[in-house]
Amino acid sequence: MPDSRSLPRFAWLSLFAAVVTLVLKALAWVLTGSVGMLSDALETVVNLAGAGVAILMLTVAARPADEDHPYGHGKAEYFSSGVEGALILFGALGIAATAVQRLFVPRALEQVAMGLTLAGVAASVNLLVALVLMRAGRQHGSPTLEANARHLFTDVLTTLGVFAGVVAVGFTGRLWIDPVVALLVSASILWTGFDIVRRAVTGLMDSALPAHERDALLRALEPHVVEPVQVHALRSRQSGTRRFVSMHVLVPGDWTVHRGHQLLERIEADIGRAIPNVSVLTHLESLDDPASWDDMTLDRSHPPTAAR
């Protein structure tokens, strides 16, 4: 797993792309007067704000664990993706309001060819950067970069939709097509925003590892969980780029501490090879002690201490 301290540079790439595409889309809007082009430019303003938040949160998330944050700062990434999702929602509502207004007050489009050219260049820039961010986000397990990439992919689709709408207006002369396309764009952006916010909330709620990583975890455990060894209280969670796994490993009571410790070391090493950037916590227990079977739930129940 590459060093997470390198992640902010990808957010800087997103910020640079947002500035470039904002200038191109704003010029396209000024030239054409298309409300669809305006909606596309407004979404890029959201991209710009999201990239700024991403830089800040990725920098915080890359900080090493300290006394106040012994598990690291990885959850800062979920704040970033949540803020970006919220910005997307507000941007979509603004686009919808502008489109409804233009439905009632139509306006002819101008310099369509130049506007479409600028929009096409902007879409190409966004597509290239989105591909880079998505690859980096999946490689690093970064929810912030993945959210940023998905937003840029949505931006590309938005631009293509606006492009098609402007072309349709040019061929048919029906001015209402432009604001209708903007409303459709708004609906698509709203869906993306809700999904990004949902993912951020799920991450803040200490969700388990994704299914493919849980499968990898079970495969790593399989060679070790053979008679008489057993495992229970197996739990996992993710925090930004970090993964955490804990479990209780039960062995015969007559095993030496050294033998049990060697088993735990092998288990932890195999899980570390199977799942990137993971911290593994194992607890050794005796198969012969009834108390070993009382702690399988998250909150272990302890019998009340007798009053003296």
Check residue 1 and give its pLDDT: 43
**Topology of the domain comprising 211-293:** Alpha-Beta Plaits (3.30.70)
Long-range contacts of 159-162 (CB under 8 A, 24+ apart): 159/25, 159/40, 159/119, 159/120, 159/122, 159/123, 159/126, 160/123, 161/36, 161/185, 161/188, 162/34, 162/36, 162/37, 162/39, 162/40, 162/119
- Residue 306, C-beta contacts closer than 8 angstroms, at least 6 positions apart: none
Superfamily of 4-204 according to CATH: Cation efflux protein transmembrane domain (1.20.1510.10)
Check residue 42 and give its pLDDT: 73
What residue has token string 């598990």?
71
What pTM does this model have? 0.56
3-state secondary structure of 245: strand
pLDDT at 64 over 80: no
- The more confidently predicted of residues 44 and 254 is 254
180: nearest Cα among 95, 246, 303? 95
Lowest mean pLDDT, pick from 19-33, 62-76, 174-188, 229-243: 62-76
Amino acid code (one letter) for 83: V
Question: CA-to-CA distance for 221 and 275, rounded, in angstroms?
Answer: 12
Check residue 265 and give its pLDDT: 94
**4-204 and 211-293: identical CATH topology:** no
pLDDT at 254 over 50: yes
Check residue 270 and give its pLDDT: 94
Check residue 4 and give its pLDDT: 53
Contact criterion met (CB below 8 Å) for 244 and 238: yes
pLDDT single digits (tens) 83-116: 777 777 777 777 777 778 777 777 677 777 787 8
pLDDT single digits (tens) 121-173: 888 888 998 898 888 887 777 777 777 787 788 778 777 777 777 777 777 77
Q: How confident is the model at residue 256 (pLDDT cuts 50, 70, 90)?
A: very high
pLDDT single digits (tens) 189-239: 788 778 778 777 777 777 788 888 899 999 999 999 988 999 998 998 887
Question: Which pair of tokens denotes residue 136?
Answer: 């980096």
Question: CB 269: neighbour CB atoms within 10 A?
Answer: 12
Check residue 282 and give its pLDDT: 92
Lowest mean pLDDT, pick from 18-22, 208-212, 217-221, 291-295: 291-295
Question: CB 254: neighbour CB atoms within 10 A?
Answer: 9
pLDDT at 14 over 70: yes
Question: CA-to-CA distance for 43 and 155, rounded, in angstroms?
Answer: 7
Chain CA centroid to CA 98, Å: 29
Check residue 5 and give its pLDDT: 58
Contact criterion met (CB below 8 Å) for 156 and 183: no
What residues does each domain of the chain span? 4-204, 211-293
Question: Which pair of tokens denotes residue 213?
Answer: 């990583």
Contact criterion met (CB below 8 Å) for 77 and 61: yes
Check residue 2 and give its pLDDT: 45
Q: How confident is the model at residue 308 (pLDDT cuts 50, 70, 90)?
A: very low
What is the share, in percent, of the chain residues with pLDDT greater than 70?
Answer: 88
Question: CA-to-CA distance for 11 and 143, rounded, in angstroms?
Answer: 12
